[in-house]
Amino acid sequence: MNGAHFVVQALKEQNITQVFGYPGGAIMPLYDALFDGGVEHLLCRHEQGAAMAAIGYARATGKVGVCIATSGPGATNLITGLADALLDSIPIIAITGQVPTHLIGTDAFQEVDVLGLSLACTKHSFMVQSAEELGPIIEQAFEIATTGRPGPVLIDIPKDIQVGPSVAHALAKLVNSDKQLNSKRIEQAKSMIESAKQPLLYIGGGVGMANAVEELRDFIQETKIPSVCTLKAIGCVPHHSPYFMGMVGMHGSKASNLAIQECDLLIAVGARFDDRVTGKLDEFAPNAKVIHLDIDAAEIDKLRQVTLSMTDNLKQVLPAIKAKTNIAPWQKQVAKMKIDYANRYDHPGEPIFAPALLRKLAEIMPTDTVICSDVGQHQMWVAQHMFVDRPENHISSSGLGTMGFGVPAAVGAQVARPNDTVIAVSGDGSFMMNVQELGTIKRKQLPVKILLIDNQRLGMVRQWQELFFNGRYSETILTDNPDFVTLASAFDIPGETIVTKSQIDQALQRLLKSEGPYLLHVSISEEENVWPLVPPGAANDQMMESVG
């Protein structure tokens, strides 16, 4: 068995059944091995698409996503996807071909120092230097990607190692590494929760990553502590729970942001006090003691000094800190805020109001539909107005905010979950950033649904230009967009355009009922903004709101 066949074998041993990638010179031996089958390869039309498909695959399932690229330009094209996975803590493995060992460092054809490039955008990276290393490195890569705080790992494999003989390697048995909880801290947490009058859960992406959604829901069920969530944690708490107020932060709900400012105990669960969440940091939850639960010790006291922290597995900690609460007045206040500041969908006129359309879609889409969002205003509208059953069903580039993420992520999610409905919600700007992935959809006949919200603008940037740059619309006007329905039809993807409210219901039905892929192109006013908005540098209670 040569090194390349060994890699395919090792992927199989790691239960990898599908990988995403793009071939080229230095990775040809691996593609030759893939040709024999065993692991299905999906050809994306750009390595960035392959990386984001791997992310979509990982996020929709909780499993590891794998992407493959050649050396040089193939590897550099992966970088944005790796950075995206790093900021959102997503377990993916990137395998890159490298020029043969003896040519490394000679500026050989398609040689780039990929290990050097990877340092800032992976959790860890390896360059394989001998056949003996290949097995142990692949095993370690999977372990590093999935344990502790997950993240992307890159393996750079020179071509001579792919074609040379391999060395057998037996997989070690993984041991469960749960630590014993610190009973003093558990008691302290419980007593802080018991004595708090206005406690609040600030729920982050770590809950889904730790597979601790059930434990969190149990905790909430028993303690009835009100909660808010980050963009990545949408789906952790059922949206109809009486004391759940939705997303917090720059485009968070008014109720969430006010509750944060008023709480006396903030319990941060798998969250990291990101600036888009906190607004002005020293005025975030100004009256609160903080309990911070996060697997990554480097997150503790990074931005907010906390009263108590625990870096254990959330699955263990959450059940252990359940405590009696006596917070009826606070619950009443929260429930009232939730009603008083509820979103409104009574928008005047015939033009389509995207928040209302997205709300409608959320109400009628099948259980376990996966929403993959792109980046911009439409992303925030999805977060504010849609709801999903679990965090794996809301896939949004949160930490990196990567335009072009939605369609390839939907490709990955659909491959991973062929029986669930997968909808990419994109904007006219973002859609064009990885539009080549329509080719992947066509090739594999993936039934991905695309909801394209077209304001003929780079809307999110346009909104900031309107509000903070005196309406100077520098390079954000896209009135020269292509005809999107025609574009999709070139990939055999049927579609339609709608422009008025009365068309919405039937068009959404056609989108959901289509057997194969479908593009619903929704034309909206260029003037719509995302509200509320906490302006940069302001505290979260200094929200700007719609004047309408």
Partner 1 sequence: MKSLLIIEAKKSPEFLERLLRVCRHRGFTVDSINAETGSVKQVSHITLTVCSERDISLLTKQIEKIVGVLQVATLQQEQNIKATA
Ligand X SMILES: Cc1ncc(C[n+]2csc(CCOP(=O)(O)OP(=O)(O)O)c2C)c(N)n1
Binding site for partner 1 (CB under 8 A): 115-116, 119-120, 123-124, 127, 144, 296-298, 300-302
Catalytic residue among 109, 187, 468, 545: 109
What minimum distance in Å lies between the beta carbon of 476 and ligand X?
7
- Exactly one of 6, 9, 14, 47 is catalytic; name it: 47
Among residues 14 and 456, whose Cβ is nearest to ligand X? 456
In the chain, the N- to C-terminal Cα span, in Å, equals 68
User: 377 is in the binding site of which of ligand X, partner 1, none (Cβ under 5 to 8 A by kind)?
Assistant: ligand X
Piece of 121-129, 133-141, 235-243, 401-409 that binds ligand X (CB under 6 A): 401-409
Residue from 402, 414, 440, 465 that binds ligand X (CB under 6 A)?
A: 402
Whose Cβ is closer to ligand X: residue 92's or residue 524's?
Answer: 524
Residue 110 bears catalytic tag: yes
CB 117, min distance to ligand X, A: 18
| Active-site option among 13, 63, 110, 360 | 110
Member of 427, 495, 517, 532 binding ligand X (CB under 6 A): 427
CB closer to partner 1, 119 vs 281: 119
User: Which listed option, partner 1, ligand X, none, makes contact with residue 401 (CB within 5 to 8 Å by class)?
Assistant: ligand X
Whether omega for the bond prior to residue 532 falls within 30 degrees of 0, making it cis, is: yes
Query: At a CB cut-off of 8 Å and minimum separation 6, what does 82 contact?
Result: 51, 92, 94, 118, 121, 122, 152, 154
3-state DSSP assignment of residue 147: coil
Does 403 sit near ligand X (CB under 6 A)?
yes
CB of 120 to partner 1, least distance (A): 7
Exposure pattern of 283-311 as b/e (b: 16+ CB <10 Å)?
ebbeebbbbbbbbeeebbeeebebebbbb
Q: 316 an active-site residue?
A: no
Task: Say which of 159, 254, 338, 449 is annotated catalytic.
Answer: 159
From the list 525, 512, 454, 440, the residue with the least C-alpha distance to 483 is 454
Q: Look at residue 499 and give the partner it binds from ligand X, partner 1, none, a contact being a CB closer than 5 to 8 Å depending on partner kind.
A: none
Smallest separation (angstroms) from ligand X to the CB of 533 = 13
Burial tier of 101 (Cβ tally within 10 Å: 0-12, 13-18, 19+): middle
Residues in the chain: 548
Residue 159 falls in the annotated catalytic set: yes
Binding residue for ligand X, selected from 376, 391, 412, 517, defined by CB under 6 A? 376
Q: Is the CB of 298 or the CB of 339 nearer to partner 1?
A: 298
Q: In sequence order, what are the residues at sequence separation of 6 or more whose Cβ sits closer than 8 angstroms to the Cβ of residue 195?
A: none
Is 460 marked active-site? yes
Structure tokens at 370: 């996966």
Is the Cβ of residue 281 or residue 297 nearer to partner 1 in the bound state?
297
Pick between residue 241 and residue 309 the one whose CB is nearest to partner 1: 309
116 binds, among partner 1, ligand X, none (CB under 5 to 8 A by kind): partner 1
Q: Select the residue interacting with ligand X from 294, 374, 392, 437 (CB under 6 A).
A: 374
Contacts of 151 (CB under 8 A, 6+ apart): 85, 86, 89, 90, 91, 122, 123, 124, 144, 145
DSSP H or E stretch at residue 47: helix 47-61
The listed partner (ligand X, partner 1, none) that binds 374, CB under 5 to 8 Å by sort, is: ligand X
Tell me the two tokens of residue 393.
């069903």
User: 152 to each of 40, 78, 96, 314, 412, how far by Cα in Å?
Assistant: 21, 11, 13, 21, 16
Taking the C-alpha atoms of residue 295 and residue 94, their distance in angstroms, rounded to an integer, is 24
What is the Cα gyration radius of the chain? 24
Q: How far apart are CA 398 and CA 532, in angstroms?
A: 18
Which amino acid, 500?
A: T
Q: Is 513 a catalytic residue?
A: no
376, interface contact from partner 1, ligand X, none, CB < 5-8 Å by kind: ligand X
Binding stretches for ligand X (CB under 6 A): 374-378, 401-404, 427-430, 453, 455, 457-461
* Residues assigned a catalytic role: 47, 109-110, 159, 460
